């Protein structure tokens, strides 16, 4: 799995003009799944991400986690994270998981986050979505389950 993580002050995702997910302070996660990802990958990232110390403490040092600050998550499926642009002008998405596999891993990931007591909002898997956020910092990281 590959996730682009952005610390945000607020964020929302809309599908066909309707808000499907909205958060205040927390993280926006663009979540990509590749063909060899398993539930273990989802579990690894569902443990890693909420515990990353990327929120500032009173001394403006990144010492606090999402769990420490009571933050929320907006999780958006994003198969294009596995787009390969090394050859030609059109990205190849051969490394992205098939939708029937990807949705299972994506749903497992979100469920595991919710089991930690985190508010998790989402878009609609496979839909054309508009994502708006106010990036805080900005802080943007790429987190992967594979070395």
Q: Distance of CA 83 to CAs 19, 21, 92, Å?
A: 27, 25, 5
> Of 80, 85, 108, 140, which one is the catalytic site residue?
80
Q: ∠ CA 7-134-130 to the nearest 5 degrees?
A: 105
Structure tokens at 53: 């110390």
Contact 3, 79 (CB under 8 A): no
80 is catalytic: yes
Rounded Cα distance between 145 and 7, Å, is 19
> How far apart are alpha carbons 86 and 71 in whole angstroms?
37
Q: Please identify every residue annotated as catalytic.
A: 80
């Amino acid at each position: 799995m590959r996730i682009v993580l952005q610390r945000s002050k607020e964020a929302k995702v809309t599908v066909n003009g309707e808000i499907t997910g909205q958060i205040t302070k927390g993280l926006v996660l663009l979540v990509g799944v590749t063909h060899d990802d398993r539930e273990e990958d989802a579990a690894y990232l569902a443990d890693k991400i909420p515990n990353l110390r990327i929120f500032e403490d009173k001394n403006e040092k990144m010492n606090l986690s999402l769990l420490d600050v009571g933050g929320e998550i907006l999780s958006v499926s994003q198969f294009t994270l596995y787009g390969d642009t090394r050859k030609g002008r059109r990205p190849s998405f051969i490394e992205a998981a098939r939708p029937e596999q990807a949705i299972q891993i994506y749903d497992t990931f979100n469920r595991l986050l919710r089991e930690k007591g985190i508010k998790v909002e989402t878009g609609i898997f496979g839909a054309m979505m508009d994502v708006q956020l106010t990036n805080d910092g900005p802080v943007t990281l790429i987190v992967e389950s594979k070395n």
